Structures are given as structure tokens and as C-alpha cells.
């Protein structure tokens, strides 16, 4: 039997040490270059294919190497070729999803990643669950914004968060929990150059934001806005979620602005792990906040359109404090600030990362350690509940969720989680009650309204589904899911003509969503419009 070609072995070992999502595609080809080693990987993969062009492993490695080197269109073609000989390989599906994602084809990427998850790839499932094609796009709003962005790197060179330059002489802004407890921190700019962080200004420790000092010079930077945003104002969050080496822009609006600097600004921007520390920008591209915390999904379908940001007033206060020479400390002081508040506690950030990695045993340990320090933090209790769904009996997850609800009597988030949990346990009526309570507490959240409408539909409560489904389309008129829910509710209630109007809105907003087209066909059939 012929021995396995040596180039293939070398390539496998080589690729194990590559980051997950290097590279860049888009209009600014010179920005966010691939990490080193991509060309060598492609050459080795090509040599492996020369030995055996039908080897599924060699085809997969060629697709991965092209993705690592930033040649995403070629990676897509190579992944499709690999699927011809290995149609059920979840890793190839994930590579295909990544290549589509980097080309800003989010709907197609989500479908490929969902298939990878269905075939047993947990990372593919995680990525698919968080993508929101209706509110996200790959790329920064402008070249100027992209030049001002930074990736936050740990001591191993892994991207752990996002940020931006605040001045041209090397001061950068990020979230405190991104760098909490770390001994070494570095920044990577849009040209791929890495700058060690020398000093950090924590302000007064009350906000999830810090200023980092580096030796970078002549940097593009983002300017603070002249005034704080108002409810309803458009926002954009630009950063590097899910370890991507490309900026991703998430869109939304201001929901409410806090009366105090130590309280978060609430937004409808969906955020994903890795976007923490990203600049929050107004329509003029000026800084009005820092991305701090996202939310858990109601019933799946992507990162929820609700999140928290460090408010504008806190940024102004931090900037004023940073003007004092004594306000900066050496980076090693981060390890001594862990008791200054939850934003500076590394256990909190570690808990978030282990959930993303799907390492559930380690995640539960990390989150439990954080809960010991912050026992009344409902967000931590909910994250431990999410981990316990995957790794233990649901009764433990339910206990955590109900405790979080008790600590936050006006917090809708535990109720949303309880809805999903009750559904997974077959307790639909309790799920409906939990989501009705969340909707009562937070009637302005489009995802909750959509989820409640869909839940009523699944229970055969068609008339009850109409009101939340209609409200969802008003709150988020660009949501295909909301219009699809309204279509189903109207069709079930016998409102055929109105249902068709909603279905047409759904297909216009989501032309790649097969559910919308199926519902449009159902409406045409109900109206005896068989030609359509």
C-alpha cells in the first residue's frame, strides 16, 4: 500500500498552529492582511493534491489553506470540490461557511455553518447561531474607520477583543473585561503591525472601558462625538467577532440612554463574542460608546438585537482622567485590579470565552468562580444555565435561571431564557407565560415580539399571535423573520390578502430565505393564484 505523502503530513501539522480566521477580502485589499504562513500552506496543499487529486483530506486541506491565506473565492471553490468526494464532512462545511462569510455572503454562510453543525461540528453550530444577515455585514463603514480599528491580542497572539485608536500617538480604547487580569496585551492595526501595550488607564473602575498606551505613531483614530446620542438614533458597532481578522459592522439604534455614567446604554445592535471593546459609532462615524455585553437568543435565529454599551458620558469621564499623568499604570497592574469590580475580574471574561469554545466543563468552572465573586450577577447565572443545558440535567439550569429572575424582577432576560428552557423540556404553556412576561417587561424588543408570535402559532393560538407579530414588524421592519411570522399568523387567521402582503415584504427583505418564498407560495395557493 502506498505510504501517505509527506507533504500532507507536514501541512496538517502546519495548519494546527494557524489562527482560525485570518485574511481579508473586500474593497480595502491592503488592510487587515493575512497572517504569515498562508502561501507556504497553499503550496504544500497543492503538492499533496498532485500526489492524489481525489484524496478528500488533501482537498479539504487545500480549501483550508486558501482560506487561511485570504483567498476566499478560491477557498469556496476548493471547499465545494472537497464536498464532491466528502459530502458529509462537517469541517469542509465550516470552511465553506467561513469562505462565504469573508465574502460578505452572510445568508449563504449561515446555511453552510448550520449544515456543519447538523453534521456534528460544534464550532460551526456556534458561528451559525450568532450570525444576523439582516443586521450585519463584513467590512467597516469606511476606509477611515477600518484604519482606526485594532484587534486586542493576548500573550499568545490570539484575538480576544476589539478596540480603536483614540489619538494619533498610540492611545487606544477597549472594554475593561477584554484585558482583565492579563499579564501581556498587544494591539494589531489595520496594516498587520503589532504594538505591545505599555500602560493602562482604568479611570475610576466603574465603567467597562480602559485606555491603552502603546508606542504607535501617526495612527488614524476615531474622534469622540460632540454630544451623546438620543433614543432612536442609528448606531454601528465595528469590530472583530468570533476571532475574525476582518471587521464586521453590526447595525441598530439607541433604545435608552442612562442617567448615570456607571449604567450602560441600551441598544438594538446585535453583538457577538469578540465584539467586546468595539467602537460604537453614530451616523457621522464619531465615537459615542464602547461595546460591552450582548444578550442570549430567545429561540435561536442569531444574536439578539439588544445589547449594552459603555455610555458617552463614561467615555468623556475616562478621557478627562487619562489627561492626568498619574492616571496610567503598568500593564502588570491588571492582575492586581481583579477585586475592583466585575469588569476587571478575569473570571468573567474567561466564562464568556469558554462558552464560545463549547468547552462546557471548563466553562461551568470558570462561571462558577465568577459567581462566587459576584453572586447576584444575573448575566453570569444565565450563562451557567446555558452551559448546564449542554452538560448536565436541565433542572440545574432552571434553578440558575429562576434565581437570575429573582435577582432581577424587572429584567426580561431571565424570562427569555426560561422560555427556551421550558420549550426544550416540553413545557410549552410555561414557555408562553415566561415569554409573555418578558414581552410585558420589554415591549420594544423586536426579537421577543417575533418569538412570542411564533410561539403562539406553534400552540395553535392564531389570534393571539397577530398582535406581537404585527408589533415585531413595526419594531424591526427589515426583519424577514418578523414578516414571516406575521404572514403565518394572518394566513392561519384567514386573512389571505393581508398575509400575501406580509409574505411579499418577507421575500423583498430576505430573498435568500426559503421560508419566505414557501409562505408566499402558500398565500398564492390560498388565494387560488396557482400561476404565481
pLDDT digits (tens, 9 = 90+) for 455-504: 999 999 999 999 999 999 998 898 888 999 999 999 999 999 999 999 99
- Please give the pLDDT value at position 437: 95
Average pLDDT over residues 255-278: 83
Spatial CB neighbours of 409, under 8 Å, sequence gap ≥ 6: none
How does DSSP assign 190-226, residue by residue? TTS-EEE--EEE-TTS-SS-EEEE----S---PPBPS
Contact 63, 14 (CB under 8 A): no
- Please give the pLDDT value at position 497: 92
Partners of residue 22 on adjacent β-strands = none
- Please give the pLDDT value at position 12: 42
CA dist 524 and 358 (Å) reads 43
**Which three cell numbers mark 159?**
484575538
- Please give the pLDDT value at position 20: 37
Rg (CA), the chain: 24
In the predicted structure, residue 26 carries a pLDDT above the cut 50: no
- Please give the pLDDT value at position 357: 57
Average pLDDT over residues 23-38: 62
Helix (H) or strand (E) holding 305: none
Partners of residue 254 on adjacent β-strands = 267
Q: What is the pLDDT of residues 504-517, one digit of tens each?
A: 999 998 887 888 89
| Residue whose C-alpha is closest to residue 143's, from 240, 36, 253, 222 | 222
**Boundaries of every domain in the chain:** 6-131, 135-339, 345-444, 446-532
Task: Pick the range with the lowest mean pLDDT from 44-48, 177-181, 289-293.
Answer: 44-48
Partners of residue 292 on adjacent β-strands = none
Spatial CB neighbours of 222, under 8 Å, sequence gap ≥ 6: 145, 148, 164, 165, 166, 279, 281, 285, 286, 287
- Please give the pLDDT value at position 297: 56
SS3 sequence of 467-484: HHHHHHHHHCCCCHHHHH
Say how many Å lie between the first and final Cα of the chain, rounded.
59
CA dist 397 and 430 (Å) reads 15
- Please give the pLDDT value at position 481: 86
**Which three cell numbers mark 446?**
423586536
Alpha carbons within 13 angstroms on the beta-carbon side of residue 464 total 13
Range list of β-strands (E), 220-260: 234-239, 248-256
CA dist 158 and 242 (Å) reads 11
Average pLDDT over residues 342-365: 69
* Mean pLDDT, all residues of the chain: 85
| Residue whose C-alpha is closest to residue 435's, from 399, 472, 400, 407 | 472
Backbone angles phi, psi at 280, to 5 degrees: -100, 120
Equal fold, 6-131 vs 345-444: yes
176 confidence band (pLDDT: 50, 70, 90) = very high
CA dist 100 and 102 (Å) reads 5
DSSP3 helix / strand / coil % (the chain, rounded to 5): 50, 15, 35
CATH classification of 6-131, choosing from 3.40.630.30, 3.40.190.10, 3.40.50.300, 1.25.40.10? 1.25.40.10
Residue found under cell 493602562: 200
Average pLDDT over residues 321-331: 93
Contact 26, 139 (CB under 8 A): yes
**Which three cell numbers mark 377?**
450577577
In the predicted structure, residue 29 carries a pLDDT above the cut 70: no
Contact 306, 445 (CB under 8 A): yes
CA distances from residue 432 to 299, 419, 452, 474, 487 in whole angstroms, order as listed: 12, 7, 7, 22, 20
CA dist 369 and 348 (Å) reads 9
**Which three cell numbers mark 9?**
503530513
- Please give the pLDDT value at position 320: 95
**pTM listed for this prediction:** 0.77
Average pLDDT over residues 434-444: 92
Backbone angles phi, psi at 186, to 5 degrees: -135, 165
Spatial CB neighbours of 149, under 8 Å, sequence gap ≥ 6: 140, 162, 163, 164, 189, 190, 238, 239, 240, 247, 279
77 confidence band (pLDDT: 50, 70, 90) = very high
Spatial CB neighbours of 508, under 8 Å, sequence gap ≥ 6: none
In the predicted structure, residue 354 carries a pLDDT above the cut 60: no
CATH 2.40.10.120 applies to domain 135-339: yes
Average pLDDT over residues 75-103: 93
- Please give the pLDDT value at position 480: 87
239 confidence band (pLDDT: 50, 70, 90) = very high
Task: Pick the range with the lowest mean pLDDT from 6-10, 283-287, 313-317, 480-484.
Answer: 6-10
CA dist 72 and 102 (Å) reads 7
| Residue whose C-alpha is closest to residue 209's, from 145, 164, 248, 266 | 164
Packing angle between helix 122-130 and helix 106-118, nearest 10 degrees?
A: 150
Classify domain 446-532 by CATH number.
1.25.40.10
Residue found under cell 485570518: 22
Among 268-272, 346-350, 483-487, the range of highest mean pLDDT: 483-487
- Please give the pLDDT value at position 302: 61
**Which three cell numbers mark 434?**
415566561
- Name which CATH class applies to 345-444: mainly alpha
CA distances from residue 531 to 33, 371, 508, 524 in whole angstroms, order as listed: 51, 60, 19, 8
- Please give the pLDDT value at position 411: 86
Contact 138, 26 (CB under 8 A): yes
Partners of residue 165 on adjacent β-strands = 172
Amino acid at each position: 500500500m502506498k505510504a501517505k505523502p509527506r507533504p500532507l503530513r507536514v501541512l496538517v501539522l502546519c495548519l494546527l498552529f494557524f489562527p482560525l480566521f485570518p485574511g481579508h477580502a473586500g474593497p480595502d485589499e491592503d488592510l487587515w492582511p493575512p497572517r504569515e504562513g498562508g502561501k507556504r500552506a497553499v503550496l504544500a496543499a497543492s503538492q499533496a493534491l498532485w500526489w492524489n487529486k481525489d484524496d478528500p483530506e488533501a482537498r479539504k486541506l487545500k480549501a483550508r489553506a486558501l482560506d487561511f491565506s485570504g483567498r476566499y473565492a478560491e477557498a469556496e471553490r476548493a471547499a465545494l470540490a472537497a464536498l464532491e468526494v466528502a459530502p458529509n464532512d462537517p469541517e469542509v462545511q465550516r470552511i465553506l461557511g467561513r469562505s462565504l462569510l469573508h465574502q460578505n455572503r452572510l445568508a449563504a454562510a449561515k446555511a453552510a455553518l448550520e449544515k456543519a453543525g447538523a453534521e456534528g461540528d460544534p464550532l460551526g453550530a456556534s458561528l451559525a447561531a450568532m450570525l444576523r444577515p439582516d443586521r450585519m455585514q463584513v467590512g467597516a463603514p469606511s476606509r477611515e474607520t477600518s484604519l482606526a480599528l485594532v484587534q486586542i491580542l493576548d500573550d499568545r497572539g490570539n484575538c480576544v477583543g476589539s478596540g480603536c485608536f483614540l489619538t494619533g500617538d498610540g492611545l487606544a480604547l477597549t472594554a475593561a473585561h477584554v484585558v482583565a487580569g492579563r499579564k501581556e496585551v498587544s494591539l494589531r492595526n489595520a496594516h498587520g503591525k503589532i504594538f505591545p501595550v505599555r500602560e493602562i488607564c482604568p479611570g475610576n473602575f466603574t465603567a467597562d472601558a480602559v485606555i491603552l498606551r502603546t508606542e504607535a505613531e501617526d495612527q488614524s483614530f476615531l474622534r469622540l462625538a460632540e454630544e451623546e446620542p438620543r433614543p432612536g438614533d442609528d448606531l454601528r458597532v465595528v469590530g472583530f467577532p468570533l476571532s475574525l481578522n476582518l471587521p464586521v459592522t453590526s447595525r441598530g439604534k439607541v433604545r435608552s440612554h442612562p442617567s448615570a455614567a456607571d449604567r450602560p446604554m441600551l441598544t438594538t445592535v446585535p453583538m457577538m463574542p469578540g465584539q467586546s471593546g468595539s467602537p460604537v459609532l453614530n451616523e457621522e462615524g464619531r465615537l459615542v460608546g464602547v461595546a460591552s455585553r450582548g444578550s442570549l437568543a430567545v429561540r435561536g435565529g442569531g444574536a439578539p438585537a439588544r445589547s449594552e454599551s459603555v455610555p458617552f458620558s463614561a467615555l468623556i469621564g475616562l478621557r478627562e482622567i487619562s489627561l492626568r499623568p498619574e492616571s496610567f499604570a503598568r500593564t502588570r497592574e491588571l492582575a492586581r485590579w481583579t477585586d475592583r469590580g466585575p469588569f476587571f475580574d478575569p473570571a468573567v471574561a474567561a466564562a464568556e470565552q469558554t462558552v464560545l469554545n463549547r468547552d462546557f466543563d471548563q466553562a461551568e468552572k470558570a462561571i462558577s468562580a465568577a459567581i462566587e465573586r459576584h453572586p447576584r450577577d444575573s448575566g453570569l447565572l444565565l450563562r451557567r444555565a446555558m452551559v448546564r443545558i449542554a452538560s448536565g440535567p436541565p433542572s440545574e439550569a432552571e434553578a440558575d435561571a429562576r434565581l437570575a429572575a429573582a435577582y432581577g424582577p424587572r429584567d426580561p432576560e431571565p424570562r427569555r431564557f426560561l422560555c427556551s428552557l421550558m420549550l426544550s423540556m416540553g413545557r410549552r404553556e410555561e414557555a408562553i407565560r415566561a415569554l409573555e412576561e418578558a414581552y410585558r417587561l420589554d415591549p420594544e424588543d423586536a426579537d421577543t415580539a417575533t418569538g412570542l408570535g411564533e410561539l403562539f402559532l406553534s400552540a395553535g393560538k392564531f389570534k393571539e399571535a397577530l398582535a406581537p407579530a404585527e408589533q415585531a414588524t413595526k419594531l424591526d421592519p427589515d426583519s424577514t423573520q418578523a414578516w414571516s411570522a406575521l404572514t403565518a399568523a394572518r394566513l392561519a387567521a384567514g386573512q389571505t390578502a393581508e398575509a400575501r402582503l406580509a409574505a411579499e415584504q418577507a421575500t423583498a427583505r430576505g430573498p435568500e430565505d426559503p421560508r419566505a418564498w414557501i409562505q408566499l407560495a402558500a398565500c398564492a395557493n390560498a388565494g387560488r393564484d396557482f400561476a404565481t
